[in-house]
Amino acid sequence: MSICEYRPGLENIPATQSSISYVDGQRGVLEYRGIRIEELAEKSTFLETAYLLIWGELPTKAELDAFKEEIQYHRRVKFRVRDMMKCFPESGHPMDALQASAAALGLFYSRRDLHNPAYIRAAAVRLLAKIPTMVAAFELIRKGNDPVQPRDDLDYAANFLYMLNEQEPDPLAARVFDVCLTLHAEHTINASTFSAMVTASTLTDPYAVIASAVGTLAGPLHGGANEEVVSMLEGIGSVANVRPYLDGLLERKAKIMGFGHRVYKVKDPRATILQSLAEQLFEKFGRDKYYDIAIELERAVEEKLGSKGIYPNVDFYSGLVYSKLGIPTDLFTPVFAISRVAGWLAHWKEQLAENRIFRPTQIYTGTHEAPYIPIEKR
Ligand code: CMC
């Protein structure tokens, strides 16, 4: 076996072979199972896309109807899970609440039968169905309210917004949110997906797989940039302040949140779609100054950093869209998890199909034959 060069962060080291998604960062292309993200955003729904990601093909109408019905049936969470969430501190971060609740599902559905397609499907359905309910439940509980039950007459995205805001969303808001879920559902081997794969490779249960991925997504280097975009736009405060603010950042060599990407060297295709969704929302529900600030900032950054391949990434417009949908800033990452669970489950299933436990090696940099020094002589 050849000895590979050590690459911090495993940069550019293939960790798997996968047919789930594909990114071409030079051309700004993202595909799920070979289908361009632009086409899915326009024509598909999140649940249909989740089915595509997990089972590899677009469902027939009968398959999709059956899948939606199963999801709808499993949306409620047991009162014991809700009661457990009531014991969480209300100042706790919603991502921690989600990680604990996702892990807790394993207590209730622990029978592990990883070779049985029916078990895989039931676990995937339960996780897709219950994660939005748990995110909305913690939001209401921390405000001192009882969680509301899911509504069977509302589809996936509309039902989440209803459970969160306790009122039926406008159809445009629900459609925009559904597209946001589609856009964030999968993105090759990022940190949380890798974490899901490593956990899956031990053949543990799927609730542990998803809980470990949620914990990884929670870090500020991964899921949290859109929160920071919103606070940056608030800090800029006015269109007139965009260029002085940007010059200040560049002088300090600080990063501009929502710009740049390890893979994309052109505008992230998801940012282009999100920008048009933001425009539709602002047109219907009223424009606010933060959108104008964002447009001016994109223009200014492109002038100064476009030649270095620094353009808006997915996080630049998603925070603006989520704020307009009434989603609190610290729920942006849990909302990302609601969507990304589809990709994690797809990788879990793919991992199981040809599993080998992850067991990389290391380059040892310590000493050998070191003496044991008695405690009184240290
Ligand atoms: N603002 C200003 N300069 C930047 C930025 C930025 N946002 N991003 C990269 N650069 C510059 C960087 O200073 C460096 O310049 P130089 O070569 O002169 O030293 C060059 O571009 C390469 O930067 P890097 O940090 O080595 O690039 P990376 O591939 O390691 O980092 C990144 C990618 C996303 C971590 C980085 O662009 C960044 O920190 N962006 C801001 C945070 C952000 O928006 N994160 C969300 C990422 S998208 C989420 C997802 O897909 O999961």
C-alpha to C-alpha distance for 114 and 353, rounded to whole angstroms: 10
Tell me the three-class secondary structure of 115-141, residue by residue.
Answer: CCHHHHHHHHHHHHHHHHHHHHHHHHH
Residue 339 covered by a domain = yes
CB 101 within 8 A of CB 81: yes
Identify the domain boundary among 278, 303, 324: 324
Candidate from 229, 255, 267 with most ligand 1 atoms within 8 A of CB, to mutate = 255
Examine the domain organization and report whether 52 and 192 are in the same domain.
Answer: yes
Per-residue tokens: 307? 């030649």
- pLDDT score, position 201: 98
Residue 156, pLDDT > 70, answer yes
Examine the domain organization and report whether 177 and 291 are in the same domain.
Answer: no
Candidate from 184, 261, 336, 339 with most ligand 1 atoms within 8 A of CB, to mutate = 261
Average pLDDT, integer, range 191-217: 97
Examine the domain organization and report whether 168 and 236 are in the same domain.
Answer: no
Single-letter residue type at 84:
M
Q: Label residue 181 by pLDDT band (50, 70, 90).
A: very high
Count CB atoms within 10 A of the CB of residue 341: 26
Residue 83 covered by a domain = yes
Q: In angstroms, what CA-CA distances link 212 with 75, 100, 264, 296?
A: 21, 10, 26, 38
Structural domain harbouring 136:
46-220+334-353
CATH code (residue 216): 1.10.580.10
Q: If you measure from the C-alpha of residue 256 to the centroid of ligand 1, how many angstroms do you get, rounded to a whole number?
A: 8
152 is catalytic: no
Examine the domain organization and report whether 197 and 229 are in the same domain.
Answer: no
Return the residue whose CA atom lies nearest to atom 17 of ligand 1: 308
Catalytic-role residue among 205, 261, 268, 347: 261
Residue 348, pLDDT > 70, answer yes
DSSP-based three-state secondary structure for 212: helix
C-alpha to C-alpha distance for 213 and 193, rounded to whole angstroms: 6
Per-residue tokens: 302? 């492109």
CATH code (residue 320): 1.10.230.10
Per-residue tokens: 366? 């310590």
Instruction: Name all residues whose Cβ lies below 6 A of ligand 1.
Output: 187, 190, 225, 255-262, 305, 308, 310, 313-315
CB 236 within 8 A of CB 297: yes
Sheet of 29-32: strand order equals 21-24, 29-32, 35-36
Residue 370 covered by a domain = no
Q: Label residue 3 by pLDDT band (50, 70, 90).
A: low
Examine the domain organization and report whether 70 and 162 are in the same domain.
Answer: yes
Identify the domain boundary among 282, 306, 324: 324
Examine the domain organization and report whether 253 and 142 are in the same domain.
Answer: no
Residue 358 covered by a domain = no
Between helix 191-200 and helix 332-353 the angle, nearest 10°, is 40
315 is catalytic: yes
Examine the domain organization and report whether 343 and 240 are in the same domain.
Answer: no
Single-letter residue type at 125:
V
Residue 11 covered by a domain = no
Residue 361 covered by a domain = no
How much is the pTM?
A: 0.94
Average pLDDT, integer, range 305-314: 94
Residue 162 covered by a domain = yes
Examine the domain organization and report whether 202 and 243 are in the same domain.
Answer: no
How many independent structural domains does the chain possess? 2
Q: If you measure from the C-alpha of residue 16 to the centroid of ligand 1, how many angstroms do you get, rounded to a whole number?
A: 25
Examine the domain organization and report whether 265 and 183 are in the same domain.
Answer: no
Examine the domain organization and report whether 178 and 63 are in the same domain.
Answer: yes
C-alpha to C-alpha distance for 85 and 75, rounded to whole angstroms: 16
Average pLDDT, integer, range 82-86: 97
Residues 6+ apart with CB under 8 A from 178: 45, 46, 155, 156, 157
Examine the domain organization and report whether 179 and 200 are in the same domain.
Answer: yes
- pLDDT score, position 32: 98
Q: Label residue 2 by pLDDT band (50, 70, 90).
A: low
Residue 4, pLDDT > 90, answer no
Q: Which residue has the higher pLDDT, 144 or 226?
A: 144
Between helix 117-142 and helix 156-165 the angle, nearest 10°, is 30
Single-letter residue type at 130:
K
Stretch among 11-15, 137-141, 373-377 having the lowest mean pLDDT: 11-15
Residue 212 covered by a domain = yes
Q: What is the pLDDT of residues 232-287, one digit of tens each?
A: 999 999 999 999 999 999 999 999 999 998 889 999 999 999 999 999 999 999 88
